[in-house]
Amino acid sequence: MKYFYWGLFWIAVYLALVISPCLVLFYGQMPGGSGFWWDFSMVLGFAATSMMAIMFFLTARFKRAALPFGVDIIYYFHKQISLLLLLFVVAHPLILVVSEPVVIEMLKPGMLNRYMAAGVVSLIMIIFIMISSLWRKQLNIHYDNWRYVHVFLSASAFILALIHIEGVGNYIATPEKHLAWGAIMGSCLLLIIYVRLIKPVALLKRPYEVVKVTEERGSAYTLDIIPVGHSGIHFMAGQFVWLTMWSMPFSMREHPFSIASSAEQQDGLSFTIKELGDFTSRVKKAPSGLRVYVDGPYGAFSFDRHSAAPGFVFIAGGIGIAPIMCMLRTLADRKDKRRHILFFAGANLDRLTFYEELIELKNKLSLEIVFVLEKPDPDWQGETGFLTGAIFNRYLSVTKHELEYFICGPVPMIQLTEKELHKLGIPLHHLHSELFDFV
């Protein structure tokens, strides 16, 4: 329950930070004759700017704030709330144009002052940010390049929005209002210093190095690393880190990967990474001794948060087996006696990463494994097709409502699995999912 109450606390903090600048806006004497729609447009503009400021905090990976939700959910919220931000930003000038035609004259080249110009450019930047983020893959924008542009444009759009606000006259005319917006800008500046300078320096002092790379089934490779000059990190089974390879921590060339090794053996870390793109295709070529940097651990996807459960159900698709493998290895090292079940879906037997080790784990745990193959060999005797409610119902016991479910894999699989399990009467608060696709 402590995570629930902490979650409510951080939601309240977020709402307070968004609303407070709007309250400051209407503090003290207001400019007369502006009218409802004018004031409403100002509220949207101020709220949008404060939301932009908080966006930087949402992606700063503060562990205490992220712990109740998981960083994957924070990033998902960041993506979804950006749509509301875009609505506010677009509605702000549209309302003014419709309700006050004089605004159109102010936007003409001969009448456009620097404050209005800053607002227009900020709006264009925000629209570009949204398009490039929502359709990054469709536009074939490389992740690393997108990230540099995203950070630069986001910071620029925010600064231009502040310059635009400076020109709204009486709405920020008092010292208190100037102080409020100065505090917002100062906080963002301090955050940038922390994220881009202080934190990378701390990571430089705690390096790791590659021990070996092992080829696995399913075009995946296991990367083993050990800490150099320090004791490493302590993590809960199922968590993940941001990994920097072939770069320094200042470069922003970092990628999130789930830890696959047992949480009971924290003298090193293992990551099982599927070859999918430019970065992941280089992992297999990583030489022994290569320096790497680890930012973490993060994530709420762990059975350690539900230690009182009578048992666990693990559901994996493809490389989604990596964090689940971490949990299974941890349970084995702890000599856990509870009954568990694993549903593992893949194209065929050759694509099931860790297949041999999973079979061996059945000798160390009270573990039932259900392999579900989409395109099995003709002599396959197990489940075929996709994970369905019928398959779950065949293997889950009458106590299925008391178990905790951990689901990891492609987003469509997660969504379908959650839907099927909920149809079987599994309470939503017993379903725990890990979203790999942050952007």
Query: Mean pLDDT, to the nearest integer, of 42-51?
Result: 85
The answer to whether residues 8 and 144 belong to one domain is: yes
Boundary-marking domain end, from 279, 298, 317 = 298
For residue 383, the cross-strand partners are 372
Quote the pLDDT of residue 242: 92
pLDDT band at 215 (very low <50, low <70, confident <90, very high): very high
Residue 67 lies in a domain: yes
pLDDT at 30: 57
Region 354-366: mean pLDDT is 93
Shared-domain flag, residues 108 and 254: no
Q: Quick count: other Cβ atoms within 10 Å of Cβ 407?
A: 25
Domain C-terminal end among 203, 231, 265: 203
CA distance 207 to 229: 8
Predicted local confidence at residue 32, as pLDDT: 54
My answer on whether 258 and 194 are in the same domain is no
Q: 263, 307 in Cβ contact below 8 A? A: no
pLDDT of residue 144: 79
The highest-confidence range among 15-29, 96-110, 323-337, 423-437, by mean pLDDT, is 323-337
Q: Do 75 and 168 belong to one domain? A: yes
The residue type of 104 is: I
Pairing of strands 291-298, 240-245: antiparallel
Give 271 or 185, the one with higher predicted confidence.
271
Please answer whether residues 371 and 380 qualify as being in contact, where contact means their C-beta atoms are separated by less than 8 angstroms.
no
* More confident of the two residues 249 and 38: 249
Is the pLDDT reported for residue 62 higher than 70? yes
Q: Are residues 43 and 142 in the same domain?
A: yes
d(CA 320, CA 140): 24
Q: Per residue in 374-411, pLDDT tens?
A: 988 888 888 898 899 899 999 988 788 899 999 999 88
CATH of the domain at 352: 3.40.50.80
Position with higher pLDDT, 208 vs 59: 208
pLDDT of residue 170 exceeding 80 = no
- Does residue 183 share a domain with residue 167? yes
Whether residue 195 is contained in a domain is answered as yes
Task: Average the pLDDT over 54-64 and give the result.
Answer: 82
pLDDT, average across residues 146-168 = 86
Does one domain contain both 36 and 155? yes
The reply to whether 34 and 78 lie within a common domain is yes
* Residues 322, 320: Cα–Cα separation, whole Å: 5
- For residue 439, is it within any domain? no
Residue 318, pLDDT > 70, answer yes
pLDDT of residue 438: 54
pLDDT for 269 beyond 90:
yes
Give the least confident one: 118-132, 151-165, 183-197, 386-400: 183-197
Q: Which residues contact 195 (CB under 8 A, 6 or more apart)?
A: 60
Q: Any idea what the CATH number is for the domain that residue 257 is in? A: 2.40.30.10
Min mean pLDDT across 32-36, 146-150, 159-163, 406-410 is at 32-36
pLDDT at 233: 92
Instruction: Tell me the average pLDDT across 217-244.
Output: 93
pLDDT at position 209 over 90: yes
For residue 376, what pLDDT is reported?
Answer: 86
Q: How far apart are CA 130 and CA 150, in angstroms?
A: 9
Helix, strand, coil percent content, the chain, rounded in steps of 5: 50, 15, 30
H-type alpha helices, 231-364? 278-283, 321-333, 355-361
Average pLDDT over residues 208-220: 93
pLDDT band, very low/low/confident/very high, at 26 (cuts 50, 70, 90) = low
Model confidence, pTM? 0.84
pLDDT bucket at 343, cuts 50 / 70 / 90: very high
Q: How many domains does the chain have?
A: 3
Residues 273-290, mean pLDDT to the nearest whole number: 86
Whether 169 has a pLDDT exceeding 70, the answer reads: no
CB hemisphere CA count around 257 (13 angstroms): 27
Parent domain of 122: 2-203
Phi/psi at 341 (5° precision):
-140, 140
In the listed set 150, 184, 203, which residue is the last one of a domain according to the structure?
Answer: 203
Quick one: which of 307, 326, 356 has its CA closest to 262? 326
Residues 280 and 311 in one domain: no
**pLDDT tens digits, residue range 330-342?**
999 999 999 999 9
Show Cβ contacts of residue 383 under 8 Å, excluding neighbours closer than 6 positions: 370, 371, 372, 373, 391
User: Which pLDDT score is estimated for 36?
Assistant: 80
Same domain, 156 and 247: no
Stretch (H or E) spanning 5: helix 2-25
* CA triple 296-279-241, angle to 5 deg: 10
Comparing C-alpha atoms, which of 219, 430, 185, 210 is closest to residue 318? Answer: 219
Whole-number mean pLDDT of the chain? 86
Q: Are residues 167 and 46 located together in one domain of the fold? A: yes
Q: Is the same domain home to 128 and 30?
A: yes
* Amino acid of residue 348: N
**Are 306 and 404 a contacting pair, CB within 8 Å?**
yes
Residue 166 within a domain = yes
Give the range with max mean pLDDT: 48-62, 135-149, 358-372. 358-372
Identify the residue with better confidence: 439 or 54: 54
Bond prior to 287 in cis (omega within 30° of 0): no
Percent of the chain at pLDDT > 70 equals 94
What is the pLDDT averaged over residues 259-277?
Answer: 90
